[in-house]
């Protein structure tokens, strides 16, 4: 097994192909300490790393300095209120107002495979691919049982962690903080990498020096957000794409989060991740449990490339599910930027007729098909077909599109309600709101209170009834605003702090029901673009709309940051119209297609109105997609150059698992005078194989391409892109 307990030393060792993680039990009180996370070790005798033989010593040897022990011991799951002044992972308030808690090991289980987490998305695996450790711990005084759950994967360098809290006492208590994972370790003069942004510029990479105190990324917007991302990496100063050490965490959750690193006065680092504490308070009744979401941990000794490969392989093999897990996605055309709200049946069919001739495989009808929705200020919640727009009804439109040989998809925003809607007029209490306070509008809409089962059932039935009415094979599930005015008309006063988390659980329930009733449906999540692009959503949908900004140049940084963690197959990417509707930039149609190829690939334009030269290029792009998508979807991704760093060009590579094929994408953003070519160094080819660039006669060895490099001719003009396809000679 990949997990071993060494009883004599009281050490647990978890192994992945290239990494080891060790946990130790200490003293008579069975403190659970972190020992090691790093390169795979053959041995396990590393308990000395917890420094228990140094002052202040363990409490059984020096109880007068118990507080000092708490404040420096490398806890595996630190609790608060008893003397550890670093930020804890757990806190509670008892019925009598006490807040202190502790954690002592009681027993453990080691078994093959990985259990599901009740009500939550999580990675999965059978006994041949992973092993699981459960550390059962407790605080007898407070009546708490902690189950620390670890899974080590055998086919990728990832370890997952989660925590289950059970009330084993005689009275309820209130959870005020339940993080999912923590690593206490010495500071290696780390830098910290996070992903930041806003609407239309999500997941830009930020790297800065890790200093003393608390730093990281958070969201308490009710979703993972445009502004920050549930990801954190600590990297050594020398870390590049290929070299250096990386410690990374990613949160399998779609709501509020905290991803943080704290440097203590002893220059140790506490890296932790979990549900944000803002407005979080969960009443836990006697005998009941609370399951925290999962954190994915990755260690790489081979730089950011090693980290990215581990995340990509884990998510492709152990997170994404369903019919499209390993399947090519249909090339779609979405009518949003083509028509906005100004469409009817004939307009949509005119787009479909032209698109079908060019090889496009699916028409997606976006916002504006329901209720009295002719602008974005009304009708959300009224999920009934507007037959004034869709003459003949939805089924007629879908059937006509199917007759063209195309699939049909549709847009929903099921979690929202407009104040100007029949649903709100009938059920004003269904919106999240603070009774008596004027509600905050965003996009002139409110959020439905999904903590109420009757609302969840209503939403599901409205969406499902539309899908049952016609041959709809794709759903774009949108969510266009944050949560505010946190209040539920039905939750009791001492459970109002559960609203944020109950909301996320309800979204998961809705999407779980949807994918079970419609197992052949291709679900694409969206949240104003990329505001809910996270592993939790990937568990239900194999792809997520990456950003509302489809400009090819803006997408370089957005897709670079996204691909740092997520497979290319998950990134919704389209060829959009020009001038671009977000930034007004004009880029070549060919470049737009090449950039969108590093994603799901589709179109976001009115194909009946674009220039003939662009229209004539679509069949070539369709053929390009079908030729390369298996490689893009299944291959290993490597970053060669970053436009966000060099401000001139971007370059990435995808290599097949057998090393027989590679695709290099080169995008010159800004041309330079008097330069003949640029040398790029390819990665992870077979040094002993010979490769030929498709369309050329020359043959190169793998080692030559990796170590000496490849010359890319300097193209004339800005915003120029080129594909370089290497095949074994």
Residue 554 in domain: no
Please indicate, yes or no, whether residues 462 and 422 belong to a single structural domain of this protein. yes
549 is a catalytic site residue: no
End-to-end Cα, the chain, rounded Å: 41
Distance CA 76, CA 607 (A): 56
Please indicate, yes or no, whether residues 80 and 173 belong to a single structural domain of this protein. yes
Report helix, strand or coil for 601.
coil
To the nearest 10°, report the CA torsion of 508, 289, 256, 233: -100
Instruction: Please say which residue of 528, 545, 562 terminates a domain.
Output: 545
For the chain, the average pLDDT equals: 97
Residue 565 in domain: no
User: What's the CATH number where 683 sits?
Assistant: 2.60.40.1180
Q: How many residues does the chain have?
A: 729
Instruction: Please say which residue of 258, 291, 318 terminates a domain.
Output: 318
Please indicate, yes or no, whether residues 310 and 342 belong to a single structural domain of this protein. no
The H helix count followed by the E strand count for the chain is 14, 39
Q: Summarize pLDDT for 507-537 with one digit per residue, the tens.
A: 999 999 999 999 999 999 999 999 999 999 9
The catalytic position among 87, 366, 382, 548 is 548
Name the nearest CA neighbour of 450 among 379, 516, 383, 499.
499
Domain that holds residue 420: 332-545
Please indicate, yes or no, whether residues 477 and 452 belong to a single structural domain of this protein. yes
Q: What are phi and psi of 163, to 5 degrees?
A: -135, 135
Please indicate, yes or no, whether residues 366 and 510 belong to a single structural domain of this protein. yes
* Domain total in the chain: 3
Residue 15 in domain: yes
User: What's the CATH number where 163 sits?
Assistant: 2.70.98.60
Distance CA 39, CA 599 (A): 32
Residue 563 in domain: no
Distance CA 440, CA 415 (A): 16
For the chain, the C-alpha Rg in angstroms (whole number) is 27
Please indicate, yes or no, whether residues 301 and 357 belong to a single structural domain of this protein. no
Residue 572 in domain: no
Residue 400 in domain: yes
Instruction: Please say which residue of 545, 578, 605 terminates a domain.
Output: 545
Residue 597 in domain: no
Please indicate, yes or no, whether residues 292 and 407 belong to a single structural domain of this protein. no
Q: Summarize pLDDT for 43-83 with one digit per residue, the tens.
A: 999 999 999 999 999 999 999 999 999 999 999 999 999 99
Residue 635 in domain: no
Q: According to the model, what pLDDT value does residue 18 have?
A: 98
Q: Summarize pLDDT for 149-170 with one digit per residue, the tens.
A: 999 999 999 999 999 999 999 9
Residue 363 burial (10 A CB sphere; 0-12, 13-18, 19+): buried
Beta bridge partner(s), residue 5: 12
The catalytic position among 478, 534, 606, 650 is 478
Please indicate, yes or no, whether residues 357 and 276 belong to a single structural domain of this protein. no
Please indicate, yes or no, whether residues 149 and 77 belong to a single structural domain of this protein. yes
Distance CA 40, CA 22 (A): 10
Asked if omega into 301 is within 30° of 0 (cis), the reply is no
Q: What are phi and psi of 4, to 5 degrees?
A: -130, 140
Please indicate, yes or no, whether residues 426 and 474 belong to a single structural domain of this protein. yes
Please indicate, yes or no, whether residues 413 and 440 belong to a single structural domain of this protein. yes
Whose tokens are 């969960």? That residue is 282
Q: What are phi and psi of 600, to 5 degrees?
A: -80, -25
- Pull the structure tokens for residue 686: 């077979």
Distances (CA, A) of 584 to 335, 597, 604, 719: 19, 22, 15, 14
User: What's the CATH number where 429 sits?
Assistant: 3.20.20.70
Q: Which residues of the chain have pLDDT under 50?
A: none
pTM value is 0.97
548 is a catalytic site residue: yes
Helix, strand, coil: what percent of the chain each, to 5? 25, 30, 45
Whose tokens are 């009774």? That residue is 435
Task: State whether the Cα torsion 421-427-428-433 is positive or negative.
Answer: negative
Please indicate, yes or no, whether residues 254 and 340 belong to a single structural domain of this protein. no
């Amino acid at each position: 097994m990949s997990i071993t307990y060494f009883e004599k030393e009281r050490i647990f060792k978890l192994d992945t192909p290239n990494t080891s993680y060790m946990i130790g039990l200490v003293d008579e009180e069975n403190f659970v300490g972190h020992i090691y996370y790093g390169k795979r070790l053959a041995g396990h005798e590393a308990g000395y790393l917890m420094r228990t033989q140094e002052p202040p010593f363990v409490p059984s040897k020096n109880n007068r300095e118990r507080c000092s022990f708490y404040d420096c011991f490398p806890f595996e799951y630190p609790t608060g209120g008893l003397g550890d002044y670093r930020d804890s992972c757990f806190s509670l308030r008892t019925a009598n107002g006490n807040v202190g808690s502790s954690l002592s090991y009681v027993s453990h289980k080691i078994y093959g495979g990985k259990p599901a987490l009740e009500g939550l998305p999580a990675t999965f695996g059978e006994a041949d691919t992973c092993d699981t450790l459960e550390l059962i711990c407790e605080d007898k005084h407070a009546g708490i049982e902690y189950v620390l759950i670890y899974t080590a994967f055998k086919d990728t360098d990832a370890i997952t962690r989660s925590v289950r809290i059970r009330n084993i006492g005689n009275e309820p208590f209130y959870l005020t903080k339940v993080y999912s994972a923590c690593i206490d370790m010495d500071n290696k003069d780390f830098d910290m990498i996070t992903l930041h942004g806003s609407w239309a510029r999500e997941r830009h990479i930020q790297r800065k020096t890790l200093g003393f105190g608390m730093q990281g990324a958070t969201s308490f917007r009710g979703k993972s957000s445009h502004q920050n991302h549930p990801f954190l990496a600590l990297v050594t100063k020398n870390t590049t794409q290929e070299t250096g050490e990386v410690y990374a965490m990613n949160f399998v959750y779609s709501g509020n989060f905290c991803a943080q690193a704290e440097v203590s006065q002893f220059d140790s680092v506490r890296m932790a991740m979990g549900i944000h504490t803002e407005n979080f308070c969960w009443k836990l009744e006697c005998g009941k449990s609370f399951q925290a979401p999962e954190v994915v941990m990755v260690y790489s000794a081979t730089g950011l490339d090693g980290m990215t490969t581990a995340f990509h392989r884990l998510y492709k093999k152990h997170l994404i599910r369903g019919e499209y897990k390993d399947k090519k996605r249909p090339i779609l055309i979405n009518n949003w930027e083509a028509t906005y709200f100004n469409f009817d049946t004939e307009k949509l069919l005119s787009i479909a007729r032209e698109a079908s001739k060019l090889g496009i495989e699916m028409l997606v009808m976006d916002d504006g098909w329901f209720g009295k929705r002719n602008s974005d200020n009304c009708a959300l919640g009224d999920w009934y077909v507007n037959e004034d727009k869709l003459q003949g009804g939805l089924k007629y439109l879908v059937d006509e599109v199917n007759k063209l040989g195309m699939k049909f998809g549709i847009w929903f925003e099921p979690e929202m309600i407009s104040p100007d809607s029949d649903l709100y007029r009938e059920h004003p209490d269904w919106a999240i709101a603070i009774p008596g306070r004027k509600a905050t509008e965003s996009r002139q809409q409110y959020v439905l209170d999904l903590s109420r089962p009757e609302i969840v059932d209503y939403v599901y039935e409205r969406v499902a009834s539309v899908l049952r009415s016609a041959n709809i094979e794709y759903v774009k599930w949108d969510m266009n605003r944050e949560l505010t005015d946190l209040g539920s008309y039905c939750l009791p006063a001492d459970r109002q702090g559960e609203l944020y988390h109950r909301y996320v659980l309800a979204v998961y329930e809705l999407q779980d029901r949807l994918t079970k009733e419609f197992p052949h449906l291709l679900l694409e999540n969206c949240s104003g673009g990329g505001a809910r692009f996270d592993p939790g959503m990937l568990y239900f949908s194999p792809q997520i709309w990456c950003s509302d900004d489809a400009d090819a140049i803006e997408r370089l940084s957005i897709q670079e940051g996204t691909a740092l963690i997520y497979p290319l197959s998950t990134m919704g990417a389209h060829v959009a119209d020009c001038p671009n509707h977000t930034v007004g930039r004009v880029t070549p149609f060919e470049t737009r297609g090449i950039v969108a190829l590093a994603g799901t690939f589709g179109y976001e334009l009115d194909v009946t109105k674009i220039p003939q030269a662009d229209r004539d290029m679509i069949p070539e792009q369709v053929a390009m997609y079908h030729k390369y998508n298996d490689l893009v979807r299944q291959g290993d991704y490597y970053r060669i150059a970053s436009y966000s760093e060099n401000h001139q060009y971007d370059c990435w590579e995808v290599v097949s698992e057998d090393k027989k094929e590679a695709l290099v994408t080169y995008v010159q953003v800004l041309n330079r005078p008097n330069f003949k070519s640029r040398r790029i160094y390819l990665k992870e080819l077979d040094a002993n194989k010979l490769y030929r660039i498709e369309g050329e006669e020359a043959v190169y060895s793998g080692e030559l391409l990796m170590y000496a490099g490849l010359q890319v001719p300097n193209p004339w003009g800005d915003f120029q892109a080129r594909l370089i396809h290497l095949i074994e000679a």
